Chains A and B, each alone.
Chain A
């Protein structure tokens, strides 16, 4: 019987981007309910904010800057909720999530470089202007929240790996 030895396929860069780690049924349901929660809270906050800024007090330079803050808060809330409910990573572990974390951290580092260059040239970042939060400051907060998201995902990933290792050790002991 002629059996050719099967070559083990090397897992390249595109494998980690394209292959999604599928979620099981419970995780899918939890994910959808968390998404519904987050999106509805974000939309309601946006409407409330536009109402307040139109008729009462303009606390931010423009509406899109205020929405950036809302998006930042909702992103962090969603990541923490998903981590707690156990639907952050799929059944086969974190694959495309690692790439996503890297992208978020990269975006933050790129923006940090601009801030450092402007600080060296003596152009400071203004937090408020005429009693309103500036657009630049709100944008920076949004990019910082992406970095915090990446850190939170990394914490949950380490926790999951430790839990899996503990389970396999317990099984081996038995």
Chain B
């Protein structure tokens, strides 16, 4: 009897690695911690930018940088406490998401370096040359470069954990792995 070969969509939809009780508790706790910290940082950032010093050209770019930092913290915490992967090891979706983050980061860096930046001057969008700092604030294109780099760093860290987990699985033996 021929073994049914799973398509890419089927692998993505059906392969999962559920977490046990301890991992679930840790994961939820770390999620609450991370987003609570992100919220506090976001509010602090907006307050500093409005009342003290506008260090970034736009508020949304500064928020994306903060989100990138939060992602890296989240993956490191989950990796060290052992709740990143479930009882069945690395799920297919996780490898897929690591690839997607890396590719989108690379595309984002390419866009930031090649596309001509547009800045709103007197109510109209005008083309300006690429710069790191403009009027004493980090430019939109440079901050985009920063947060795309942060997403690539997140993807690299995730890949390191995936490789380590797969090596540990090979040593321990693959049992009940769906992907």
The residues of A with any CB-CB pair to B shorter than 8 Å are 29, 32-33, 35-36, 39-40, 42-43, 46-47, 50-51, 53-55, 62-64, 67, 71
CB–CB A29/B25 < 8 A: yes
- Counting chain B residues whose Cβ lies within 8 A of the other chain, the interface size class is 20 to 34
Name the distance in Å between B84's Cβ and chain A's nearest Cβ: 16
> Interface readout for B56-95 with A: 1 if CB under 8 Å, 0 if not?
0011101110010000000000000000000000000000
Contact A50 B35 (CB under 8 A): no
Question: Which among B32, B36, B63 is the interface contact of A47 at CB below 8 angstroms?
Answer: B63
CA distance in complex: A140, B129 (Å): 43
Closest 8 CB pairs of A and B: A39-B35, A50-B59, A35-B32, A36-B31, A36-B32, A51-B60, A40-B35, A50-B60
Which residue from B25, B39, B60 sits with its C-beta under 8 Å from A42?
A: B39
Grouping DSSP codes into helix (H, G, I), strand (E, B) and loop, the A interface class, with mixed when no group exceeds half, is helix
Chain A residues, Cβ within 8 Å of B60: 47, 50-51, 54-55
Contact stretch, chosen from B8-16, B40-48, B154-162, B171-179: B40-48
Residue B5 CB within 8 A of the other chain = no
Task: Indicate which residue in B32, B47, B59 contacts A54 across the interface (CB closer than 8 Å).
Answer: B59
5 further A-B pairs in the complex, CB-CB below 8 A; given A29-B28, A46-B43, A46-B46: A32-B28, A40-B35, A43-B38, A43-B67, A47-B42
State how many angstroms separate the Cβ of A27 from the closest Cβ of chain B: 13
Task: Give Cα A116–Cα B39 distance, bound, in whole angstroms.
Answer: 33
Does B29 touch A at the CB level, under 8 Å?
A: yes
Say yes or no: is B50 at the interface (Cβ < 8 Å to chain A). Answer: yes
A39/B63 contact (C-beta < 8 A), A29-B25, A63-B50 known: no
Known: A35-B36, A50-B63, A54-B59. A43 touches B28 (CB 8 A): no
Question: Would you call B46 and A36 a contact (CB within 8 A)?
Answer: no
B125 to chain A, nearest CB (A): 10
A79 to B127, CA, bound (A): 48
Pairwise interchain contact A46-B28, C-beta atoms closer than 8 A: no
Chain B residues within 8 Å of A63, by CB: 46, 49-50, 59
Residues from chain A with Cβ under 8 Å of B59 in the complex:
50, 53-54, 63
Query: Does the CB pair A54–B58 fall under 8 Å?
Result: yes
A131 → chain B closest CB, angstroms = 15
Given contacts A46-B42, A50-B59, A53-B59, are A64 and B29 in contact (CB under 8 A)?
Answer: no
25 contacts between A and B (CB under 8 A): A29-B28, A32-B28, A32-B32, A36-B31, A39-B38, A42-B35, A42-B39, A43-B35, A43-B38, A43-B42, A43-B67, A46-B39, A46-B63, A47-B42, A47-B60, A50-B46, A50-B58, A50-B60, A54-B59, A62-B50, A63-B46, A63-B50, A64-B43, A64-B46, A71-B43
Which partner residue on chain B sits nearest A34 by CB separation? B32
Residues of A within 8 A of B62 (CB): 50
Assembled-state Cα–Cα distance A39/B47 (Å)? 18
Residue of A nearest to B40 (CB): A39
